[in-house]
Amino acid sequence: FIDIHNQLAGALDCDHMHDGLGFLTQHLGLSLRFEQALQAVNPAVSLPYWDYTIDSAHVQAENGGDFETYLFTSELWQPQWFGTADPDLHYVTEGRWAYTKVSTDWNSTHSAYGYLRAPWNANPVEYVTR
């Protein structure tokens, strides 16, 4: 599924995963396929549901509608979830995802640095960045 995402996001004609109105539907569709593959092995497994309306309410109530401030202080980016990123280095340094290396075991879609990233991604860092 990482490979499918990378091929769609790194297609030469356009980024099919992140550009335009398809962002949510493309990611939801890929997540559904992933969940169905997991359920083929164990029907009791399901992906967690993220109710983004809760975050939207927090942005309005606590940050006066300033999404950018909320985004970088959200509990989602704390060590117990997806981890804290170093503000200068931009890679995750705390939590279970700390110092997770980007794969170099790629197919035809990869960056100039050999990482499993879009061909135009000029990020030379070996870790997952944000």
Neighbours of 98 (CB within 10 A): 16
Q: How far apart are alpha carbons 37 and 43 in whole angstroms?
A: 10
Is the per-residue pLDDT at 106 higher than 80? no
Residue 29 binned pLDDT confidence (cut-offs 50, 70, 90): very high
The percentage of the chain sitting over the pLDDT mark of 70, rounded to a whole number, equals 99
Neighbours of 42 (CB within 10 A): 8
User: What distance lies between CA 17 and its chain's CA centroid?
Assistant: 11
Report pLDDT digits (tens) over 109-127. 889 999 988 888 999 999 9
Judge if pTM exceeds 0.85. Answer: no
Helix 2-9 vs helix 23-41: crossing angle, to nearest 10? 160
Is the per-residue pLDDT at 33 higher than 90? yes
Neighbours of 91 (CB within 10 A): 21
- Show me where the domains of the chain are located: 2-49, 82-130
